[in-house]
Chains A and B, each alone.
Chain A
Amino acid sequence: MTTDWPPASAGATTLRVAVWRGDESGRFQGFDVPRQPSQTVLDVVTHIQRHLDPTLSYRFACRVGMCGSCAMMVNGVPRWTCRTHVDKVALEASLELAPLANMPVVKDLVADMDGFFDKWARARGQFAATATRADDFAVVDPASPERREADAGIECIGCGVCYAACDIVAWNRDYLGPAALNRAWTLVNDKRDGARTARLEAVAGDAGCHACHTMMSCTEHCPKSLSPTRAISGLKRATWRLALEVEEP
């Protein structure tokens, strides 16, 4: 952090905010933002952009924790900023805001999420239909173990918080990451899907589920309280069973 003013005291009416400016080689810029009741971190960023510096770039859409576009590093921790109250994170009445870690910086608080979503495609995160519109609805028992596993991971909003929190992503740039693997696991458990084997092949190996060390940073930080760790463990077991079933080519 390269800001040059001293930390403010707790209970202050002004919040001191260090905001990342520029690209990878940028620096933090300091702003003073008035405190408000029930103020979110996204409110703070919006105040800066509307009242202090209109050139500040950041992303948001829904403001209610559904779209997954406003995630950024808040005091070094990846968070969804629209649902993060300043009271909970601004110790010493100061904030440090930076673009999501483990992704290239486009500008200011905007991270380039291309690689993140390309990995969803590499993990075969697309549903492969086995029926047509002429067929009847598939019957999926809500109590079946597969449906329960899919339910546990299906609420992912693609915010990238888990990806920014993951040390393996930082160490192994090819690693698919928690979100893509979580998506793959929901599809592996979807009885309507027809690409199970190809998907398990895509997620196995050093760039896939076997790279995970179960450190659980993804699960710790997921704003939707999902457990990508559990999904990745499921993929490890499923790929092993597949390896036992399928003969050597």
Chain B
Amino acid sequence: MSNRREIAFWVAQRATAVVLALCVVVHLATMVYAVRGGLSAAEILGRTRGSIAWGAFYSVFVIAAAVHGAIGLRGIAAEWLGWRGDGAELATTVAGLVLTIAGLRAVAAVVGT
């Protein structure tokens, strides 16, 4: 089957979109709950630090966002800038890696002890 790569990108974008939809709902619901409960930043960090569950949740969130964003940037580069091929692939892969690293650093800051 030719075009296997494009099909894989499409599946990855669809799958990460599903993950992101769930993650965003949980994230927003948690934020609203925490703010309405009047929790301070220190109190929130007190609950997240050392939590494997929150660490796993936000790691999945970050990776899904990085994959989804990188594939989306690849499409934007091709359609809006006419930038296709190895250069565009490399640039959007780097963008995805930067998002992953930056995101996981933030997760580490929230759940690290």
Contact = CB atoms under 8 A, between A and B. Distances in A.
Interface of A: 168, 171-172, 201, 204-206, 208, 210, 213, 236, 239-240, 242-243, 246, 248
Contact of B2 (A168, A205, A236, A240): A205
Contacts of A172: 78-79
A248 B2 contact: no
Interface residues of B, number: 15
A208 B4 CA distance: 13
A239 B7 CA distance: 7
Given A201-B2, A204-B1, A204-B2, A168 B7 contact: no
A210 B6 contact: yes
B3 interface: yes
A164 to B, nearest CB: 18
Contacts of B75: 213
B33 interface: no
8 contacts: A201-B1, A204-B7, A206-B78, A206-B84, A210-B6, A210-B10, A242-B1, A248-B4
B78 A204 contact: no
Nearest to A173: B82
A210 B4 CA distance: 11
Contacts of A204: 1-3, 6-7
Interface string B1-23: 11110111111000000000000
A246 B79 CA distance: 30
Nearest to A246: B1
B79 A205 contact: no
A205 B1 CA distance: 11
A208 B78 CA distance: 14
Contacts of A243: 1, 4, 7-8
A169 to B, nearest CB: 11
Contacts of A213: 75
A222 to B, nearest CB: 22
